């Protein structure tokens, strides 16, 4: 009897813990008969909270099975100043540095704060990316990689010291690669992180294929839902799996380059770069007859040499602004949380259709159908990269 009681207590604790976690950040799947009003009431939110978080263009139309992301308090886009608040107190509540609060809200004099004043909470703090610390990492290296300050990482993660250990999970307040501002200004006709088309168009993109396992499953799903995608393929993989490569093109998708060997292109010489890009283009042409004009560098790493070489070879370099982080063994619901709130018109969504050694993409395969249905129902149209960049 004592063991039964212990088990019951243990299960109750687990239930409470799980309830707390889900309550903090929830993926809600619409049941038959539900509408936004019912869902908003259930979570003590407004309809606007739901439509804005999920970027819905037609909120009056939701269907059973659709995914709706339920925002939590920390993910509200506005904080209302309360009586007695100071920027320091708000920083303690929200884990956002005072310097960021000042910059984002144009605050020059803290004494000008007033009760009820709306303060903008940056999107990158509401939806930070998750980073797993690797051997040799330091806070400085991670901050430099994502173009943010060490202070931002310390504050957001409530770290008491700068020591970090491999395997530790950190929240990183950066939604776009750190090179975006510097290089897109310098190479506006060559480097893209978002599209430039009109309407509510988005592009679903897949890296690292082809392979005979995951890529085939991705193609089956795309065929079932009748949507196009863009595949950034690795040349050496094309050489191994030409039939999968041919299927990509045969079924109406855009195929283009992710380099020959998945090398860090920003570290290569001009001659090495030329080889990585040219040989991938050659083998794609050999098996599909397609001439390619787009390149995605592995990991999104760019440099002046890479961008100049790509431009001279007639390529546009295409990265992304929405990262599913599916390569990291991310759970299906977390992929939905990474993608849906961050997808807007002209978004480029990063997924993978093949993985490295011991890398599993089962969550990608399981989540794609409901993600596609949800984004379609939210009013988005899937197109290939060439259409999103008006480069037909």
pLDDT, residue 209, reads 97
Q: What is the chain's mean pLDDT, rounded?
A: 88
Evaluate if residue 176 carries a pLDDT over 80: no
**Based on the domain organization, do 251 and 340 belong to the same domain?**
yes
CB atoms near residue 357 (< 10 Å): 4
pLDDT, residue 294, reads 99
The CATH number assigned to the domain holding 241 equals: 3.20.20.370
| Over residues 249-277, mean pLDDT | 96
Residue 150 burial by Cβ neighbours in a 10 Å radius (0-12, 13-18, 19+): middle
**Based on the domain organization, do 203 and 316 belong to the same domain?**
yes
pLDDT, residue 20, reads 26
**Catalytic member of 28, 49, 207, 386:** 207
Catalytic (active site) residue 304: no
pLDDT band at 324 (very low <50, low <70, confident <90, very high): very high
**Based on the domain organization, do 294 and 250 belong to the same domain?**
yes
Catalytic (active site) residue 262: no
| Over residues 329-348, mean pLDDT | 92
Evaluate if residue 24 carries a pLDDT over 50: no
Between 84 and 129, the higher pLDDT residue: 84
Q: What span, in angstroms and rounded, lies between the C-alpha atoms of 59 and 181?
A: 33
Q: What span, in angstroms and rounded, lies between the C-alpha atoms of 116 and 303?
A: 45
Residue where a domain stops, chosen among 34, 54, 70: 70
Between 367 and 160, the higher pLDDT residue: 367
**Based on the domain organization, do 115 and 262 belong to the same domain?**
no
Q: What span, in angstroms and rounded, lies between the C-alpha atoms of 64 and 74?
A: 28
Per residue in 125-154, pLDDT tens?
877 888 889 899 999 999 988 888 899 999
Per residue in 298-310, pLDDT tens?
999 999 999 999 9
Evaluate if residue 2 carries a pLDDT over 50: no
pLDDT, residue 174, reads 76
* Domain carrying residue 217: 180-388
pLDDT, residue 129, reads 80
**Based on the domain organization, do 101 and 197 belong to the same domain?**
no
**Based on the domain organization, do 38 and 113 belong to the same domain?**
no
pTM of the model: 0.74
Evaluate if residue 243 carries a pLDDT over 90: yes
Number of domains in the chain: 4
Tokens of 66: 């659709």
Evaluate if residue 11 carries a pLDDT over 80: no
Residue 248 CB-half CA count within 13 A: 31
Q: What span, in angstroms and rounded, lies between the C-alpha atoms of 143 and 151?
A: 9
pLDDT, residue 21, reads 29
**Does residue 289 sit in helix, strand or coil?**
coil
The CATH number assigned to the domain holding 104 equals: 3.10.350.10
pLDDT, residue 23, reads 31
pLDDT, residue 392, reads 65
**Catalytic member of 253, 258, 262, 352:** 352
Evaluate if residue 264 carries a pLDDT over 90: yes
Q: What span, in angstroms and rounded, lies between the C-alpha atoms of 197 and 180?
A: 19
**Based on the domain organization, do 153 and 284 belong to the same domain?**
no
pLDDT, residue 9, reads 37
Q: What span, in angstroms and rounded, lies between the C-alpha atoms of 55 and 345?
A: 9
Q: What span, in angstroms and rounded, lies between the C-alpha atoms of 131 and 134?
A: 9
Evaluate if residue 283 carries a pLDDT over 70: yes
Tokens of 219: 């193609």
From first CA to last CA, the distance across the chain in angstroms is: 72
**Based on the domain organization, do 332 and 370 belong to the same domain?**
yes
Strand 78-80 versus strand 67-70 pairing type: unpaired
Long-range contacts of 324-331, Cβ-Cβ distance < 8 Å, separation of 24 or more: 324/349, 324/350, 324/351, 324/364, 325/129, 325/130, 326/351, 326/352, 326/361, 326/363, 326/364, 326/367, 327/208, 327/352, 327/355, 327/359, 327/361, 328/130, 328/132, 329/359, 329/360, 329/363, 330/363, 331/363
pLDDT, residue 4, reads 39
pLDDT, residue 357, reads 76
**Based on the domain organization, do 116 and 157 belong to the same domain?**
no
Per residue in 179-223, pLDDT tens?
456 788 899 999 999 999 989 999 999 999 999 999 999 999 999
pLDDT, residue 89, reads 92
Residues sharing a CB contact under 8 Å with residue 1, sequence separation 6 or more, in sequence order: none
| Over residues 234-238, mean pLDDT | 98
Cross-strand partners of 169: 132
**Based on the domain organization, do 364 and 226 belong to the same domain?**
yes
> Among 22-36, 240-254, 320-334, 348-362, which stretch is predicted with the lowest mean pLDDT?
22-36
**Based on the domain organization, do 196 and 315 belong to the same domain?**
yes
| Over residues 314-341, mean pLDDT | 92
The vertex-273 CA angle with 271 and 277, nearest 5°, equals 120
**Based on the domain organization, do 30 and 159 belong to the same domain?**
no
């Amino acid at each position: 009897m004592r063991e039964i009681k212990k088990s019951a207590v243990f299960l109750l604790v687990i239930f409470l813990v799980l309830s707390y976690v889900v309550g903090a950040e929830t993926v809600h799947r619409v049941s038959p008969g539900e509408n936004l009003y019912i869902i908003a009431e259930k979570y003590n939110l407004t309809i606007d909270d739901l439509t804005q978080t999920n970027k819905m263009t037609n909120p009056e139309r939701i269907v059973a099975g659709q995914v709706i992301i339920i925002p939590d308090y920390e993910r509200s886009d506005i904080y209302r100043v309360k009586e007695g608040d100071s920027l320091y107190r708000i920083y303690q509540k929200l884990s956002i540095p005072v310097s960021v609060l000042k910059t984002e809200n144009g605050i020059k004099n803290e004494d000008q704060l007033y009760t009820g004043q709306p303060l903008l909470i940056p999107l990158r703090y509401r939806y930070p990316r998750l980073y797993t610390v690797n051997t040799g990492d330091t806070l400085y290296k991670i901050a430099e990689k994502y173009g943010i300050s060490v202070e931002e990482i310390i504050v957001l993660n409530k770290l008491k010291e700068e020591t970090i250990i491999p395997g530790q999970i950190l929240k990183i307040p950066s939604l776009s690669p750190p090179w975006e501002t510097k290089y897109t200004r310098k190479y506006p006709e060559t480097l893209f992180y978002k599209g430039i088309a009109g309407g509510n168009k988005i592009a679903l993109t897949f890296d690292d294929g082809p392979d005979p396992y995951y890529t085939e499953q991705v193609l089956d799903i795309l065929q079932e839902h009748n949507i196009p995608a863009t595949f950034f393929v690795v040349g050496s993989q094309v050489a191994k799996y030409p039939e999968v490569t041919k299927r990509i093109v045969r079924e109406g998708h855009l195929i283009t380059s992710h380099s020959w060997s998945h090398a860090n292109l920003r570290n290569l010489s001009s001659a090495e770069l030329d080889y990585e890009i040219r040989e991938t283009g050659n083998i794609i042409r050999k098996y599909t007859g397609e001439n390619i004009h787009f390149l995605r560098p592995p990991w999104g790493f760019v440099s002046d040499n890479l961008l100049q070489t790509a431009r001279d070879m007639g390529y546009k370099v295409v990265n992304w602004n929405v990262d599913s982080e599916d390569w990291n063994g991310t759970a299906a619901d977390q992929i939905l949380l990474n993608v849906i709130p961050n997808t807007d018109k002209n978004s480029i969504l990063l997924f993978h259709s093949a993985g490295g050694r011991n890398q599993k993409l089962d969550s990608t395969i399981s989540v794609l159908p409901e993600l596609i249905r949800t984004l379609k129902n939210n009013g988005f149209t899937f197109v290939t990269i060439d259409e999103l960049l008006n480069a037909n």
